[in-house]
Amino acid sequence: MPHEWLKNPAEGAVAELHLWPFRSLPRRGFVGVIAFTALGLAVPLLAVLGSPILWGLLPFVLGALWLLWWALERSYRDGEVVEVLRLWPDRLVLEQRQRGRAIHRFEANPYWLRPELVAGGPVEGYLILTGGPRTVELGAFLTPDERRTLREEILLRLRDLRGGAA
């Protein structure tokens, strides 16, 4: 699951959680996909090697390869999302960081905080944190099962923090 509870939280926090999107294609796989595609596009060009047709086809082949490269790089950039949840006895802070955007920060009193799964949200099992008048989404990039598991883990941490009272 793409989240981790740190063993040594920063800034004296009781608990610290880091969430990030799952990567189905690591960088090593990226190189393999580009190499395999380049090879696959080069094989048909062998038949027209030495003829003027090669120069007519070459821009399209290179354009397709560049477009694949650009699309995969764009996917990596868009997936650079990190959510950091820190929990203290008197407050909870959630920071949502995405490359090229301002950091969104949510603070609440953990005593009043409620993690809830909403059925009619933008995604199945939409996980929200409600604390006072504000509500914030958590882990939109997680699968529904991961959000359910995460909700239970947050409830356990809050229960421990409150001294066993749910």
Query: d(Cα 20, Cα 72) in Å, to the nearest integer?
Result: 18
Query: d(Cα 120, Cα 156) in Å, to the nearest integer?
Result: 25
SS3 call for 23? coil
Structure tokens at 77: 């950039």
Expressed as residue numbers, the domain containing 74 is 27-78
Do residues 62 and 98 both lie within one domain? no
Is residue 166 in a domain?
A: no
Do residues 102 and 34 both lie within one domain? no
Stronger pLDDT, 34 or 161, i.e. the higher one: 34
Last residue of a domain, one of 78, 101, 121: 78
- Condensed to tens digits (0 to 9), the pLDDT of residues 53-87 reads 999 999 999 999 999 999 999 888 877 889 999 99
Domain count, the chain: 2
Is residue 108 in a domain?
A: yes
Last residue of a domain, one of 78, 93, 117: 78
- Condensed to tens digits (0 to 9), the pLDDT of residues 112-163 reads 889 999 887 667 888 989 887 888 989 888 888 999 999 999 999 999 888 7
Do residues 103 and 123 both lie within one domain? yes
Query: Which pTM value belongs to this model?
Result: 0.74
